[in-house]
Structure 1
């Protein structure tokens, strides 16, 4: 593809910023339970024993586990629903649905008059997050890369609008993406017709699709099994075990989340534009998780429930250092990667199944973590450490690279045929394509349902 500056427009950037609020909603709904568990008023309101009181392990711990478990269960249902709903009703309608459910879930929790009502609100909020965390990255990926719905004249106008820049007055980039996407969709439709199967059947019949589904599931499962929500949701318990009392756990939670949102996530986004590898970003994050969680486990084992300020301070330091790796390298990669590996026809199915992996892993961890910390203490960290150590070679040997490739070119890394050469074309081929596209009347040809002939090298 030709290099014409930013290849984006002001309108595109504004849409991306607004849709990204879906991720903000996800972050808030996930994080709010952490500070909630740190407020004594929450325990007294629902008549729950506080930590170190009789009945805490038998009454309060299951309630806390359920609050996180039903949230993850709702997320799993929401993500599975998106496998069908995103194509049935469109991306925008599902973003609206997720927003409505988030409002409803928040209202149920905030106005809860009983534990049952509070847990119902947690479930509804989880469902909302399952919807938003599936559809928002999908929509964002499509806004920043080729997409077509079968209405080629409208698609070309949209591409021109989001790709136009002062560096590209002839809209060559939009024309390149349009031709590439149109021909790829035509090729994929022909292959689908040859098999005689629908999209759902093709997901299981085609080897490359099965590989995408497995890798997408593992990406989300693996990232969450690295323990970010265990540390986030049960931060009060962790900080209390490290000697923090009173307002300090809540202050540390706020600082932890603030650094994630203002420092590490933006830093990760910047690095993705500089580091030409999603795989190495992901692996770097997990190597850091293994090291920092091991050090945290050691500090908790040696100094937990003691008054050793240096040892407990080091434990807190490693919690924050963990976030530097997880927030910068893993959190920014997990959604980006799964939004890139699926072709248009199976993207809703693939994204929904991938995010189901995320909520399945959080359901297991968040349901068991409070009981694990009560019964085995620091040894519970070994679950996170062992998984992360195993996941690094899995990424290295089995995850294809997607950085700086179009969705069509990513298909080549999964062993599929591509219709038009793009970034892998030679400079001479790219110049020939650009020259012929510069004055091409694609809109006129599309409205008459004619097509631009493209040979195997990308010449037109």
Structure 2
């Protein structure tokens, strides 16, 4: 079997486009550090914890996340049409532009309504970029390195969270020193447009997705090696059956129904482990453990540092050990961490911040244990897996459907979380423990392994035909040429593909 290895240029393409991933993650996470800034509450006329009217603040904090997720759900669905009609590249550019507009509106907000509108627009951009970026990355990757390449999406998401948490921690001390300036929350909010601007400015030099070009009949720009011969033949076979793809196609065949169920379980399952709740309300959770002053912000920032390390581990080893194995280990670890968190909070959290300090420290430990498993096994893997399981002609709509489920699930958990934490406290973690238990068994019995298969060959896992196998194409070529070759596939700067063969 020939080994396909992307050159350095392909890798930098994947990294550069993931600036959009960092921008999106920063935008999602920034509300977590923002709610730890006293000046934010004063600027928008909101009551702080312990003040009269804080119940309204709780509802609005949930709304800030809810409208963001609602916009993201809309953007995810819209991106399917944009990617097929205008290309993955132009869709990413459009998402970056919307991100800049929404971020600027949030940073300049003078009332709650304006901030809510900005959060919705930012969410719209997030849905577009969260869908288009992993699709583009997967289609620019080879079978042997696809896990690593698409995991850059997860790593840059973690870096976006990291930037948000540490910037929020740094500017906290401006308010802590007695300043009434709104800079401690306006600057972090506005920073989300920086990676989006970099992406938009540099994106004209990005090549188009080879598979999108083939699908549009522009294969003369791309077909120059065996893998792309396979892409062309599989695309022709797909289009012969499906000349016009509709949303109904997502559930029309048994294979596609299985894909749709996997997409639903994948993202609802991950959201019901509590990932966005802990990330977005981390300062509130750490404060409930008796942390005061800057400590909740600092612990949240350190928590995100663990996430970056975990996503890096995922990128390095996902192709070696497989998607399914990573997910099963991650879910089992998260279940244990959630169980430990629930028990330690139950016995240690009360109105006295100085009581049962060891128990509260143990609760903090389990939060860090949880993110270690989630980031190393689940975070990047979910985007790799979703982008892999759909055939070329349905990848845009299938990925959009999965990301849509991600943000619908986010609305459910994020809107409820502030009120739930203030009313039922540690019992809210039970809501995550039970689904996580069932999620493990769903993955065990339902999710096939996709490691080292080309995007075209994965169709066989869903009982569908493959026009030509990459191994067979290579063997036939080697038989015809009478030589054995190793091939490096790369995408050149003008969008064409090249190959280098060694006898």
| Partner residue in 1 for 2:445 | 397
| Partner residue in 1 for 2:2 | 2
Distance between the aligned counterparts of 1:227 and 1:74, measured in 2? 20
**1:178 counterpart (210, 225, 228):** 228
**2:424 counterpart (372, 376, 381):** 376
Retained in 2: the 8 A contact 1:79–1:355?
yes
| Partner residue in 1 for 2:45 | 47
Task: Compute the TM-score of the two structures, normalised by the length of structure 1.
Answer: 0.86
CA shift digits 1:389-430 (9 cap, x unpaired): 10111111111211111111100000001111235x6xxx85
Partner secondary structure for residue 456 of structure 2: helix
Q: For 1:58-97, list aligned pairs within 5 A.
A: 59-97=56-94
The 3 A distance-change label for structure 1 pair 20 and 438 is farther
Shift of 1:92: 1.1
Larger mean CA deviation between 322-331 and 9-18 belongs to: 9-18
Partner secondary structure for residue 407 of structure 1: coil
| Partner residue in 1 for 2:343 | 298
| Partner residue in 2 for 1:269 | 315
Alignment of 1:110 with 2:107, yes or no, is yes
Distance between the aligned counterparts of 1:218 and 1:419, measured in 2? 29
Shift of 1:432: 4.2
Shift of 1:217: 2.6
The 3 A distance-change label for structure 1 pair 437 and 226 is farther
Distance between the aligned counterparts of 2:388 and 2:482, measured in 1? 28
Larger mean CA deviation between 204-213 and 92-101 belongs to: 204-213
Retained in 2: the 8 A contact 1:71–1:125?
yes
Distance between the aligned counterparts of 1:391 and 1:269, measured in 2? 23
| Partner residue in 1 for 2:457 | 409
| Partner residue in 1 for 2:434 | 386
Count residues with an aligned counterpart. 411
Distance between the aligned counterparts of 2:257 and 2:411, measured in 1? 24
Alignment of 1:151 with 2:218, yes or no, is yes
Shift of 1:23: 1.2
Shift of 1:201: 4.2
Shift of 1:156: 1.6
Larger mean CA deviation between 202-211 and 17-26 belongs to: 202-211
Retained in 1: the 8 A contact 2:326–2:378?
yes
Larger mean CA deviation between 100-109 and 142-151 belongs to: 142-151
Distance between the aligned counterparts of 1:134 and 1:33, measured in 2? 22
| Partner residue in 2 for 1:187 | 237
CA RMSD of aligned residues (A): 1.9
Shift of 1:334: 0.7
Gaps of 5+ in 2: 143-209, 484-503
| Partner residue in 2 for 1:211 | 258
Task: Compute the TM-score of the two structures, normalised by the length of structure 2.
Answer: 0.78
The 3 A distance-change label for structure 1 pair 199 and 63 is closer
| Partner residue in 2 for 1:289 | 334
Larger mean CA deviation between 79-88 and 67-76 belongs to: 79-88
Alignment of 1:122 with 2:101, yes or no, is no
Shift of 1:110: 0.9
| Partner residue in 1 for 2:181 | none
Distance between the aligned counterparts of 1:247 and 1:39, measured in 2? 10
Distance between the aligned counterparts of 1:434 and 1:41, measured in 2? 68
Retained in 1: the 8 A contact 2:226–2:474?
no
Gaps of 5+ in 1: 158-174, 440-460
